[in-house]
Amino acid sequence: MARDETRWWDAHDSVTFLVESGATSLWEGDLPGATRLLELADEVAAAADGVPGRTALRLLTRRQLGMARRLEGRYEEAERLLSAALAVAEDAPARYANELVELCNELGILFRYTGRFDQAAAFYHRARSLLRQSGAPEGATMASILHNLGGLAHARGDFAAAEEPARRAVHLRTRLMGEKSVEVAADKGALAAVLMDLGRLDEAESLLVDCLTVVEEHYGPDHIETGIVLGNLAALSHKRGRYAQAEVGFSRCLLVKERHFGRSHPELAVTLNNLALLMRRREDIEGARHMWRRALTVLEGSVREEHLLLRTVRKALRSLPGEERRLTAASRTEGRDPIGSNSAAWCDTPRVYGLRPRLTPESLDALRRSLHRTVDELAARDSEDPRAGEVALVVAGVPLPPGEGALPAPVGPAELCEGPLP
C-alpha cells in the first residue's frame, strides 16, 4: 500500500474511532467525556494536513463538536462551528451531500434551541429537500428530520401542523427499528407532547407509558431520559388536574436534570417553569417566585430575547406582587404572546438525533485492538513525521475499558441528554 494511502487510513481510522467513542460516551450520558473525545478527533483531523479526505474528516468532527457545544449550552460557539462547516460543504455540495443534510438538520436544532424558529424551519426544510434530491430511500435521517419538524411546529403552538410529521416519524422509525428501540420511544414521546396540547390525553398517556417502559429497560430508573418521560407524564397529570402527582414527577425530573446539566443550564427552564405553575396554584407565591427567578437566570444570556419560554417566564414573574420593578425595561418588551397565558405545563421533548453509536461493543473493541496494533507500525515506519507521533499519542490517550490498560474508562453520570427547549 502506498504511503499516502496508509496515512489516509491511519488518520481516518483514528478520527472514526474517536468520534464513535465520543458517541458511545454521549449515549452513556458522559457529556464531558464525549466532548473531550470529539475535541481530540478534531485535533487529529486538523493535523492530517496533506492527507486525502482531510476536509471530509474536518466536516465530520466540526459537526459533532458543534453538537456537543450545543448540548453544553455553549450556543454561540456551536453556531460558529456549524456555520463554518456548512460554508465549506457548500463549496462542493455534490462531494459533501451527506454532510450538508446533517449540518442543516443540526443548525435547525440549534436555532430552535435559541428561539429562532424561522431560521430553524428553513434549515429543516432544506435538509429534507436535499435528502429527497439524493434519491435515497427514506431512512433514519428522514425520520429525525420529521421528528424535528413536528417539534418545531409544536414549539410554535401550531399543534395541528405538528401532528402529521410527528406521527410519520413514529411510523417510519418503527418500520426501520422496531417497537422496542429507544429512538422510536423518543418519537413517541414527541408525538405524545403534541397530542396533549390537542386535548387527546388518553392516546398521549398510552404513548408515554410505552416510552417509559422502553427507556427504563434500556437506561434504568435514574437515567435522564427516564426522568424526562416522567416529567412529561407529570405534565399530563397537570392537565388532568392531578397536581400532587404532577409535583412529584416534575421534582424528580428537575433533580435528574441538575445532576446531569448542573444548576445553571438552560435545559432546566421548562421544569422550573412547571414547578412554579404548581406552586402558584397552591398559592405558594414565594415558591413560585423562586422557581421563575431561577428559570429567568438560566435563560438570560443563553437564548435570544424573543425566545418564547423566556418571554413566558418574564410575563409570569410580572404577574406576581412586587416583581414589576425588578425587571428591566428591555425585559418588559413582550411582543406577540402566542400562548395567551402561562397556565398550562410545558413538555420536554427527548433528545433529537445527532451522535449515535453506530458500532456495536464487539466491533468497537475490534477497532480499538486494530488501531493499537497499527500505532507501533505507524510510529516505526514514519518516526521522522511529527504527524504520525500526534496520531499515535492521541490513540494511546483514548480511555480504555477496565482491564485493557492503565487508563480508566470514561467517568460521569450514566445519563443521556434530553431535547431542545420548546
Query: Residue 50's pLDDT is what?
Result: 67
Task: Supply the mean pLDDT for the chain.
Answer: 77
**pLDDT tens digits, residue range 319-367?**
888 765 554 444 444 433 333 344 567 776 554 333 333 344 444 455 4
Q: What pLDDT is stored for residue 396 in this prediction?
A: 33
Sign of CA dihedral 160, 161, 166, 172: positive
Is 378's pLDDT higher than 90? Answer: no
Q: Which three cell numbers stand for residue 353?
A: 438525533
CATH number of the domain to which 256 belongs: 1.25.40.10
In a domain, residue 270? The reply is yes
Does 417 reside within a domain? no
Q: Is residue 179 in a domain?
A: no
Check residue 205 and give its pLDDT: 95
Q: How far is CA 386 from the centre of its chain?
A: 36
Confirm whether 294 is domain-assigned.
Answer: yes
Res 249 pLDDT > 50: yes
279 lies in some domain:
yes
- Can you read off the three cell numbers belonging to residue 398? 483514548
* Cα–Cα separations (whole angstroms), residue 390 to 24, 108, 305, 314, 382: 23, 35, 44, 50, 11
How many domains does the chain fold into?
1
Cα 294–Cα 295–Cα 299 angle in degrees, nearest 5 = 115
Per DSSP, helices labelled H in 91-181 are: 97-113, 117-133, 140-155, 159-177
List alpha helices for 156-200, DSSP H: 159-177, 182-197
Report the range of poorest mean pLDDT among 67-81, 216-230, 360-374: 360-374
Whether residue 301 is contained in a domain is answered as yes
Give per-residue pLDDT as tens, 252-280. Answer: 999 988 988 889 888 899 999 999 999 99
| 231 three-class SS | helix
The answer, yes or no, to whether residue 374 has pLDDT greater than 70, is: no
pLDDT digits (tens, 9 = 90+) for 64-74: 999 989 888 88
Tell whether 347 is covered by a domain.
Answer: yes
* Residues in a beta bridge with 300: 303
* C-beta of residue 196 within 8 angstroms of C-beta of residue 231: no
Q: What is the pLDDT of residue 332?
A: 43
Buried b (16+ CB within 10 A) or exposed e, 78-99: bbebbeebbebbeeeeeebebb
- Which sign, positive or negative, has the C-alpha torsion 185, 191, 195, 197? positive
- Structural domain span for residue 351: 243-358
Residue 419 forms part of a structural domain:
no
